[in-house]
Amino acid sequence: MSDAETPGGHTHEHDPDHEHGVAGPGYTTPAAMRTESGREKTAFVMGIRVGMDVDAPDFVGVVDVDPDSPTYAELIGTVEMPNKGDELHHFGWNACSSSCHAEGMTRDHLIVPGQRSSRIHILDASEPRELSIERVIEPEEVFEHDLSAPHTVHCVPEGKIIVSMLGNREGELPGGFLQLDQEDFSIDGHWEADLGEMEMNYDYWYQPRHNVMVSSEWAAPKTYYPGFDLDDVEAGKYGDSIHIWNWETREHEETLTFGEEGLIPLEVRMMHNPEETQGYVGAALSSNVIRFYEEDGEWDWEVVIDLESREHPDWDMPVPPLITDLLVSLDDQYLFFSNWLHGDVRMYDVSDSANPRLVDRIWAGGNFGDRQEVAGHDIHGAPQMLQLSRDGKRLYWTTSLYSSWDNQFYPEIGEHGSLMLKADVFPDEGRMELDEEFVVDFGDAPGGPARAHEIRWPGGDCTSDVWQ
């Protein structure tokens, strides 16, 4: 097993800029993760069966991504959840690079929430190819804290795990943040000291060196669970703001409201350099990428990428691209994001962060993609959840968004499942190419078809780790 495959395995002796003599989990700097971790060998991928024609529980799958392996590009293992109907969505680690200064911690457990059930699973990932369920936090334990619908899991310094929660126990607004203990995975209670003006919740990112956390907004679980309804947008039931928090005091400090330019701001990605006080959020419905930043002690924002809707003969209205996921490479040079309704994944050079430059895109599936199959497999859905290799040379994605939204916009996913695909990235040339030999068809998953969703690497990745 390589260091990259060892969830907690790493030494810091080769990092001259960040010596501290303590071997905690992860990597001391983003550059250390990018250059010292080695190529990914396996991937953890969510497999969801909620709303499908198969009556079976969700699972966490293990995909072989080692090109030298005889099982390359195959789903080599699955761990089914003990209950049906969880809708696994996003997951995270018990410990990561944010706690690399803390002796005694190990990156060896995955925290796997059920978005629809509010059940939280703790998986032992000490052997990446032999995942097992260690503990389950039942929904009733979560509801005791008047929270539901867990979403983003981040490991944070000092032995804690924070999970953004999108609803109260009734599935209504405003939600909040649940804190777990890293040692025994017990619930500490709410992370936040107050909610301030926060009325909705979704994703978040934090930058401890600058004492800040930034969170975004989707909607109440009762609003988005049944599917998307434009009337809900017009009724103000979807978010248009991000929130600035004091990381140390856990107090809400400020709301940045985007209005029509920032409807449904989903994934939040700050730059990996811990000295930076800027990042991006993808406004799904407005199809804008918004840069937020702190300057002279004040937070502000600007639209830096504005995409146009397109006419389609089967739609009564112009089809928005619908930016559903984005990520920043570990060297902070490139921004990638997916347009789930149009069907393309884009690569921007963000060396000049306020002026992103489109360098390449790949069409695959969707309503406008010329390519509707890869290696004989029909593409159900379109580029959605993204994950980049640590060295920035391979971009992977899956094609499912959320069960009820899938069934509304790409109903074939409910019958056939979805795919995991890959592109080779050439960062020195600023381009990428679809790998037409790599396809993992979750329609062939053991026990029946599944929706492929979020991807994580053993050893961490550019959407799980934060640096102090």
What one-character-per-residue DSSP string does 272-303 give? SSTT--EEEEEETTTTEEEEEEEETTEEEEEE
| Three-state DSSP class for residue 70 | coil
- The Cα-based distances of 127 to 2, 88, 445 in angstroms read 12, 21, 21
Q: For residues 342 and 361, is the Cβ–Cβ distance under 8 A?
A: no
pLDDT on residue 19 = 53
Which of 16-20, 194-198, 324-328, 459-463 has the lowest average pLDDT? Answer: 16-20
pLDDT on residue 7 = 47
pLDDT on residue 13 = 36
Assigned domain for 310 exists? yes
Average pLDDT, the chain: 94
pLDDT band at 395 (very low <50, low <70, confident <90, very high): very high
Joined tokens for residue 273: 């350099």
Condensed to tens digits (0 to 9), the pLDDT of residues 270-305 reads: 999 999 999 999 999 999 999 999 999 999 999 999
> What CA–CA distance (Å, rounded) separates 168 from 124?
29
Q: Bridge-partner residues for 63, per DSSP?
A: 43, 75
Which of 22-31, 154-163, 258-267 has the lowest average pLDDT? Answer: 22-31
Assigned domain for 7 exists? no
Assigned domain for 349 exists? yes
Assigned domain for 19 exists? no
Least Cα distance to 282 among 208, 133, 384, 213 occurs for 384
Over range 247-260, report the average pLDDT. 98
pLDDT on residue 20 = 54
Over range 56-78, report the average pLDDT. 98
Which of 3-7, 157-161, 376-380, 402-406 has the lowest average pLDDT? Answer: 3-7
| 129 has a pLDDT exceeding 80 | yes
pTM of the model: 0.96
pLDDT on residue 44 = 98
Assigned domain for 245 exists? yes
Assigned domain for 121 exists? yes
Assigned domain for 25 exists? no
The long-range contacts involving 192-197, CB below 8 angstroms and separated by at least 24 positions, are 192/245, 192/250, 192/251, 192/252, 193/249, 193/250, 193/251, 194/250, 194/251, 194/252, 195/252, 196/243, 196/251, 196/252, 196/253, 196/255, 197/243, 197/252, 197/255
What total of structural domains would you count in the chain? 1
Higher confidence at residue 205 or residue 26? 205
Joined tokens for residue 133: 């369920």
Cβ neighbourhood burial of 143 (10 Å; 0-12, 13-18, 19+): middle
Domain of 251 in residue numbering reads as 30-456
| 308 has a pLDDT exceeding 80 | yes
| Three-state DSSP class for residue 82 | coil
Residue 446: give its domain's CATH number: 2.130.10.10
pLDDT on residue 5 = 52
Neighbours of 433 (CB within 10 A): 12
pLDDT on residue 11 = 38
Rounded to 5 degrees, φ, ψ at 416 are -110, -5
Q: For residues 87 and 450, is the Cβ–Cβ distance under 8 A?
A: no
Assigned domain for 466 exists? no
Condensed to tens digits (0 to 9), the pLDDT of residues 72-122 reads: 999 999 999 999 999 999 999 999 999 887 888 899 999 999 999 999 999
